[in-house]
Amino acid sequence: MVVAAIFNVGASVMNGGAGTGAVDFFHGFQVAIMMTLMLNLVQFTYWTCKLRRPGNTLWEVHGPTILVFLSFVLVNIQPLMILVIGSWKLCCAECAGLGLPATCTSTGFTFPPWPNAPADNPYRQCTGPNGDGGNVFWDKSYCTGGKYAIFPTVWQGWVIQVCATWGGYLFMFIGVFQATQLHKKLAGKWRAIRSGRS
């Protein structure tokens, strides 16, 4: 997961800025790595719980597995959304801000036009999540590709980042600790150190 986060940082410092092929590649690669690692963690937790946890109900045996699976879903929401936004250029900006005629659409807002857009209708009308452009993560100033944000600049993006991503990592830690009994092992080791035993 650290490697996937490093790829996201790699995408953010590319000289070409947002919207370049390298940035789009890193977004896709990050999603692939995150999904692979998180699904492997779910499998590890499943087999650890199946072999080591006693109990009669699904929750008693596989409670940690369910938490880690929930973590898999939550942690991948933001990278998948960013991949979709970047792949389909879903950042709504004022027509003039994208170097287009000010009245390119009836609302005055458009997504960046496709490279090979049809000549009769090259513009994609939009309004953004708040009616003022942008998307669920960034305001309209990030739509031109000149700026690349590491953190969201609109409230919806912060809600997704805090609740989904950070909440997902919290579920992951709780599930892994419960499955491996790491908290009990650490507490036992601490007690042994405090009592002077090796």
Task: Please state the domain extents for the chain.
Answer: 2-89+169-194
Q: Is 138 helix (H, G, I), strand (E, B) or coil?
A: coil
Residue 110's DSSP bridge partners are: 93, 125
Q: How far is CA 65 from CA 44, 57, 121, 184, in A?
A: 9, 13, 50, 18
191 contacts 197 by C-beta, under 8 angstroms: no
131 contacts 88 by C-beta, under 8 angstroms: no
Q: State the DSSP code for 111.
A: E
pLDDT of residue 49: 94
pLDDT for residue 122 is more than 90: no
pTM for the full predicted model: 0.79
Tokens 């800025």 sit on residue: 17
Q: Is 31 helix (H, G, I), strand (E, B) or coil?
A: helix
Share of the chain above pLDDT 70, in %: 88
Q: What is the torsion angle, in degrees rounded to the nearest 10, for the CA atoms of residue 164, residue 37, residue 185 and residue 47?
A: 110
Q: Note the pLDDT tens digit of each residue in 127-155.
A: 877 778 889 999 988 887 777 777 899 99
- What would the two tokens of residue 97 be? 């801000």
